[in-house]
Homo-oligomer: A and B are copies of this chain.
Amino acid sequence: MGSGPEQEHRQFVIDFYGAMAYGELSAFERFSADARFSPTLHDRITIGKLAAEEFAHFELVSAELADLGADVEAAMEPFQAFVDAFHERTRPADWYEALMKAYVSDAVSGDFYRAVAVSLDPPSRALVSRIKADTGQAEVLRVRLAQALSGDARLASRLALWGRRLVGEALTQAQRVTFEHQFLGALLRRTDPASRKAATDALFARLTGNHSRRMNDLGLTA
C-alpha cells in the first residue's frame, strides 16, 4: 500500500472523509427529524431540502471513500461518539433552535473542513469545495432567522445564548477528536506537540471569530 508517508497521508484523508461522512449523515437525520416541527409547510420544505442536501453530500463523500478502497462504515466509526455527543448535548427545544442549529453547525463545520482541507491534496480540497460551495442554503437559513428575530427581543436573547452553546459544544467535540485521535494536529501537518497546539488554537480562534461575526450579522451578541 505504498511507502510510509504516503500510507499515512491516505489514512489522514480517510479519517477526514470519515468524519465528514458521519457528520453529514447525522445532520441529515437530525434536520429532517426537526423539519416536522416547522411553523409552516413552507418552512418544512426549506429544512427538508437542506436535510436532503446533507444526504447527497454524504453519498458524495461515501463514493470518494469507496474510490480510495476504504470501507465507508469503518471510516465513519471512530467519529461517531463525538458527533453523537454534540447532537445529544444540543437538542433543539423548538423549531427556531433547530433552524439556528442548522445555520451554526453548517457554517462552523464548513469553516473547519475548509481549514483542514488546505493542508490536504488538491482532490480533497476540490471535494470540500463542492460540498461546502452551495452557500445558497446558508443564505436561506440566515434570511429566515433574521425574519424570525426581527422585533422579537425575547427570541433574540434565547437564540444568542443557544448560539453560544452550539459553538461551545462543537468546539469541545472537535478538541476531543484532536486529542483522542491525534487527528487534527496530524492533518495540520505539525509533528511536534507545541506546534500542533499552536495550530489548533489558531484554528479554533478563527472558528470562534467567524461564528461571532455571523451572530453579529444577525444582530445577536455572540
Contact = CB atoms under 8 A, between A and B. Distances in A.
Interface residues of A, number: 27
Interface in A43-97: 44-45, 48-49, 51-52, 55-56, 58-59, 62, 72-73, 76-77, 80
B41 A76 contact: yes
Contacts of A48: 25, 28-29, 55, 58
A33 interface: yes
A36 interface: yes
Given A52-B52, A52-B55, A52-B56, A29 B41 contact: no
A42 interface: yes
A36 B41 contact: no
A73 B33 contact: no
Q: How many copies does the complex hold?
A: 2
A55 B73 CA distance: 24
A116 interface: no
A35 interface: yes
A93 B177 CA distance: 33
Contact of A29 (B36, B40, B42, B55): B36
A29 B77 CA distance: 25
B25 A29 contact: no
23 contacts: A25-B44, A25-B48, A28-B32, A28-B48, A29-B32, A29-B33, A29-B36, A29-B44, A30-B36, A32-B32, A32-B33, A32-B55, A33-B33, A33-B36, A40-B73, A41-B76, A41-B77, A42-B73, A45-B62, A45-B72, A48-B58, A51-B55, A52-B55
